[in-house]
Structure 1
C-alpha cells in the first residue's frame, strides 16, 4: 500500500464544507444545472457512484470516474452500480480504506490523468477522499464533480488558487499526530507532479 494519509476525526467537519459550487437536488435536473455552468473543461472527473450515474445517465462520459459501489456508506442500488459500468471506460481497481488516502490511490489517479482513455477507478474500501488528490492532480481548467450527501453535487473548477487551498488542507492533515511520524515524500512528489 505504501505511504498513506490518515484523516483525523476532527477534520471530517471541514470536508462537509463544499470545495466548490454546490448544486442542490439530485438526478438529471441537478446534472443539467451543473452542465450549464461547467463550460468545456480540460478534464472532467467524477467522484462518487450517484454523481457518476447521473452524469452517464445524461449522456456525459467523464474522463475519469471514481466509484466504490456505495452511497452514504451503504451499498448503492443495482441500478446505480450497473449504471456506472459503461463500455467507454477502461477499469482499474485499487484498495483504499475509509478515512485514508493511500499512495496506491494516488498512483491510480495519476495513471488515469496520463491516459488517453476514459478510466473508471473502482475502489475497494472508500472513495470519499479521492476528490482531494483529484483536485491537486487535475490540469488547470478541469472540473471535479463529487456528491455532497443529502444535498447535491459539488462542482470544483480547477484553478491555481484552488490547488493551493487543497494543498494547505492536506498539509494541515499531515501535521496531525496520526500522520506526524510517517513518511509522505512519495505522496507529495506525486501530488505535485514531480
Structure 2
C-alpha cells in the first residue's frame, strides 16, 4: 500500500477545506435516489462506480462488483465497522491517506484524482473520515459515472454524474472555509 500523504509539508498545508457549521444541514439531504439493494442499484450503473463508505463498498463487493474507486475509513456512523466488513473492504487498499473529520485534505484530493485516472480498481483507506469526498468525487468523475454514498439508516444514495451535479457540487464546495483556489488546482490537475 502506498501513502499519499505529503510528509515533507507542514500539516497545515494538507488542510484545504473545512465544512462550516452552517452547511452541515444542507448535506443531510440526499443528492440522489436512495436504494437499499446493491444489486438493484448496480442495474442503474453505466460507467465507473465510485463508492464512498465502508458499508456501501461492502454491499457492492457482496453483490459481485468491485468499485472502480472505493473510499473507506473503517467506520460507520462514527463506530468501527464489523471485522468482516473491515477485512473485505480494506483487502485491496492501495492508497492510504489522512483526512480529518469535516475536512477535505490535499492528500485525499490527490488520491481521488490518482484513483480516477487509473484503469485498475483502487481502494483509498482514509485515516480520519471519508464522507465529504463524495462532493469532489462528483465534480471530478467522468460524465455518467456513479458516485454512491451511504445515507445513515436509509440506504445508499446514487448520484449519476452530470454537468448539473458538477455545477451544484462546485457551488457547494465554494462555500467551504479554507483554500478553495488550491483545492480546485489539485482537483482539476
Fold match by TM threshold 0.5: yes
Please say if residues 53 and 130 of structure 2, whose CA atoms lie closer than 8 Å, have aligned partners that are also in contact: yes
Aligned: 1:36 with 2:48: no
Partner in structure 2 of residue 176 of structure 1:
none
Number of aligned pairs? 177
TM-score relative to the length of structure 2: 0.89
Task: Give 1:90 deviation, angstroms.
Answer: 5.2
Alignment of 1:36-75 (within 5 A): 36-38=43-45, 40-41=46-47, 43-75=48-80
Q: Deviations over 1:78-126 (max 9, x none)?
A: 011012134xx45100000000011111011001111121110000001
Q: 2:112 aligns with which of 93, 109, 113?
A: 109
Please say if residues 98 and 126 of structure 1, whose CA atoms lie closer than 8 Å, have aligned partners that are also in contact: yes
Structure 2 distance, partners of 1:49, 1:131, is 13
Partner in structure 1 of residue 31 of structure 2:
19
Please say if residues 57 and 83 of structure 1, whose CA atoms lie closer than 8 Å, have aligned partners that are also in contact: no
Partner in structure 2 of residue 154 of structure 1:
157
Please say if residues 16 and 182 of structure 2, whose CA atoms lie closer than 8 Å, have aligned partners that are also in contact: no
Q: Which runs of 5+ in 2 are unaligned?
A: 1-10
Structure 2 distance, partners of 1:164, 1:61, is 28
Aligned: 1:190 with 2:186: yes
Please say if residues 49 and 80 of structure 1, whose CA atoms lie closer than 8 Å, have aligned partners that are also in contact: yes
Please say if residues 148 and 157 of structure 2, whose CA atoms lie closer than 8 Å, have aligned partners that are also in contact: yes
Structure 1 distance, partners of 2:44, 2:119, is 25
> Secondary structure of 1:84's partner?
helix
Please say if residues 17 and 179 of structure 2, whose CA atoms lie closer than 8 Å, have aligned partners that are also in contact: no
Q: 2:20 aligns with which of 5, 8, 17?
A: 8
Q: Which runs of 5+ in 1 are unaligned?
A: 174-178
Please say if residues 93 and 125 of structure 2, whose CA atoms lie closer than 8 Å, have aligned partners that are also in contact: no
Q: 1:135 aligns with which of 121, 138, 145?
A: 138
Q: Deviations over 1:20-74 (max 9, x none)?
A: 1112x3xxxx112212222x21x11000000000100111011100000000010
Q: Give the alignment's Cα RMSD to 1 decimal.
A: 1.4
> Secondary structure of 2:97's partner?
strand
Q: 1:54 and 1:114, CA in 2 relative to 1: closer, same or farther beyond 3 A? A: same
